[in-house]
Homo-oligomer: A and B are copies of this chain.
Amino acid sequence: MGLFSKDIKTMNDLFVHQLQDIYYAEKQLVMALPKMADKATDKQLKGGFLTHLEETKTHVQRLEQVFEMHGAEVKAVDCPAIDGIIEEADEVTVEVEDKRVLDAALINAAQAAEHYEIARYGSLIAWARQLGRNDCASVLQRTLEEEKATDQKLTTLAEGKVNLRAAG
């Protein structure tokens, strides 16, 4: 985007811009999730990250589908928010000595990413409906449901097992 021009003139421009933003974020997560799986000790957590990696690859494809449905160029724009979330995850996890505590920190980091996506997809779906694009909203809704389910699974794993071990 231009630094001195105001490039977002309409709701449609905002919708497309945020599609580009979350497209970048999902692609960054495709790169980050295998590293998180490598660091995880708990087998269920490691498996969960790998399952969500496959889902995240599907989310990237769904966004490409939405760009096409909406007649917009498939394009990513920098997303400092997800960069910050991933940077923070790297910084914290490198500081953790105990493997069981590391698992708790990894879940915390992953939930920050999930919640970022939940917030963004929530707005995108509302905007799509407002723009009369229920077809795009339906595709985005499937991803939102998967992000919420992943967040819930992480909470269950943390509170049912990982936190108990980390504090033990």
Contact = CB atoms under 8 A, between A and B. Distances in A.
Contacts of A17: 92, 95
B84 A107 contact: no
A83 B87 CA distance: 11
Interface stretch (A6-14, A34-42, A54-62, A65-73): A6-14
A97 to B, nearest CB: 4
A8 B130 contact: no
Count the copies: 2
Nearest to A159: B126
Contacts of A155: 122, 126
Contacts of A163: 11, 126-127, 130
A31 interface: no
Interface residues of A, number: 55
A67 to B, nearest CB: 18
A30 interface: no
Contact of A164 (B14, B81, B105, B130): B130
The residue in A7, A84, A114, A120 that gathers the most chain B C-beta atoms within 10 A of its C-beta is: A84
Contacts of A126: 155, 158-159, 163
Interface in A1-59: 1, 6-11, 13-14, 17-18, 21
B167 A131 contact: yes
**5 interchain residue pairs of minimum CB distance:** A84-B84, A115-B115, A6-B97, A115-B119, A80-B84
